Copies of this chain bind each other. A is one copy, B any other.
């Protein structure tokens, strides 16, 4: 029941990007900057941000003074959306997935007890992650960094 590094990094990067555009609206932030601040390998982060861009969560601009910014408001980006984009369906087993259903090998799907249990797990996970919006995470970071903004300012 693990979240992959890609999913983890994606959320962390998005929070950083969202936080930046909260501080300085209408500015772009570069991959290298995000990588430094979040502790994520730069080249790996690259393909994650690209996937987020193709998924419509980020937008980018090339060339000098280029970079990334959110493609929509933080309150319109859910964790569920982000994680699905990088890790695939949330459902623990394909036979309870809505977006990517596939029959399982069990002799009788209807009477499969595991399926009923996993349906509940799926609903619980989706219920949390699809209602967890990016703005909530950014708020959390904002609150926390405000207290140590003086030390933090000089770290760059």
Contact = CB atoms under 8 A, between A and B. Distances in A.
Interface string A79-101: 10001000101111100000000
A117 B105 contact: no
A73 interface: no
Contacts of A107: 37-39
Interface band, chain A: 35 or more
A30 to B, nearest CB: 18
B92 A145 contact: no
A118 B37 CA distance: 21
Interface of A: 1-3, 8, 11-12, 15, 37-40, 79, 83, 87, 89-93, 104-108, 110-114, 116-118, 120-121, 124-125, 127-129, 132, 136-138, 140-141, 143-145
Contact of A117 (B38, B108, B129, B138): B129
Contacts of A129: 117, 121
Contact of A113 (B39, B83, B90, B136): B136
A35 to B, nearest CB: 12
Contacts of A90: 1
Contact of A2 (B1, B132, B141): B1
Most buried by B among A1, A11, A125: A1
A8 B138 contact: no
A105 to B, nearest CB: 5
